[in-house]
C-alpha cells in the first residue's frame, strides 16, 4: 500500500487562478516527485483601484512517498 503525503502551498499569478495552480505544481515538482493531485483549498483575488491585479490560491498537493 503506497503512502501519500500532503503539503500545503500558497501560489499567486497576475494571469489567473489556472496559472497560479500550475505555478504551485511547477514549484513543488522541483523538489518533490510522484505528485498525484492538487486540491484547491482557497481562492482569492487582490484588488487595486477597483481592478483585479492578481489571483492567489492555497493548494494541497498530494504525492506518493518512495
Name the class of domain 3-65. alpha beta
Q: Per-domain residue ranges for the chain?
A: 3-65
Which percentage of the chain shows pLDDT scores above 70?
Answer: 100
- pLDDT of 48 above 90: yes
The pTM of this model reads 0.87
Alpha carbons 59 and 25: distance in angstroms, whole number: 9
Res 46 pLDDT > 90: yes
User: 23 — phi, psi (to 5°)?
Assistant: -65, -40
* pLDDT value of residue 31: 95
Amino acid at each position: 500500500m503506497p503512502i501519500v503525503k500532503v503539503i500545503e502551498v500558497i501560489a499567486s499569478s497576475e494571469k489567473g487562478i489556472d496559472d497560479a495552480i500550475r505555478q504551485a505544481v511547477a514549484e513543488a515538482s522541483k523538489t518533490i516527485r510522484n505528485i498525484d493531485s492538487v486540491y484547491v483549498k482557497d481562492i482569492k483575488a487582490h484588488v487595486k483601484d477597483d481592478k483585479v491585479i492578481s489571483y492567489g490560491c492555497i493548494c494541497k498537493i498530494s504525492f506518493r512517498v518512495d
